[in-house]
A and B are shown apart, each in its own frame.
Chain A
Amino acid sequence: QQQVKQSPQSLIVQKGGISIINCAYENTAFDYFPWYQQFPGKGPALLIAIRPDVSEKKEGRFTISFNKSAKQFSLHIMDSQPGDSATYFCAASKRDYKLSFGAGTTVTVRA
């Protein structure tokens, strides 16, 4: 039973468009919410992360929005580029640092 639910399963966006991936969780003890990016044949790599004391974090073209009351968080990829084509995983952990991952979203950016 997945503790973090992620949607959509896949999405296609035009170059320059915005990609939005959503995640929801139930466990209110989670206090760390990272997003990982994975290219085919590679391991996941940390993209950006947020803690529940802030509602938004931005790093370059990537933004996390966090809604503590709704127990939801999302990743926005602005000005999407072909190089952003990858699988994105949201995750959550408590202070024990054991990550619970969402099922993943495959993003395809068309040139």
Chain B
Amino acid sequence: NAGVTQTPKFRVLKTGQSMTLLCAQDMNHEYMYWYRQDPGMGLRLIHYSVGEGTTAKGEVPDGYNVSRLKKQNFLLGLESAAPSQTSVYFCASSPLTTEAFFGQGTRLTVV
């Protein structure tokens, strides 16, 4: 039972490049989330999904897009990376209760 798996774990992008972060969960959870973690700011919600085929904006959605074509996967896309998107990105999932289970994170650097 892997829980929440994020791919890749590390990535360096040049400004203007695009990339997709993949999150996969094997717990059959309905809810999935993408957060970014920056020093002194805790974790901030980027986008979330309450079920397959649904997505919604969180607190800091600008510059990101998401898709949830399958219940177990939640993709986060950066169409044109900017240095301000340098961060550690965490995916999480939860059942229809409240505990959120987090992945190991993706450390992204945009140069």
Measured in the bound complex, the distance between the Cα atoms of B39 and A9 in whole Å is 11
Measured in the bound complex, the distance between the Cα atoms of B102 and A46 in whole Å is 9
Contact with A34, one of B48, B59, B99 (Cβ below 8 angstroms): B99
Residue of B nearest to A90 (CB): B42
Tally of chain A residues near chain B (CB < 8 A): 24
Measured in the bound complex, the distance between the Cα atoms of B26 and A93 in whole Å is 24
Question: Are A34 and B98 CB-contacts (below 8 A) given A6-B42, A99-B45, A104-B42?
Answer: yes
Top-9 shortest CB links A-B: A43-B102, A101-B42, A101-B43, A103-B42, A32-B98, A44-B102, A46-B99, A43-B104, A43-B103
Interface residues, chain A, CB within 8 Å of chain B? 2, 4, 6, 9, 32, 34, 36, 41-46, 49, 89, 93, 97-104
Q: Which residues of B contact A9 (CB under 8 A)?
A: 40
A44 and B90 form a contact (CB under 8 A): yes
Measured in the bound complex, the distance between the Cα atoms of B109 and A4 in whole Å is 27
Q: Which residues of B contact A44 (CB under 8 A)?
A: 43, 90, 102
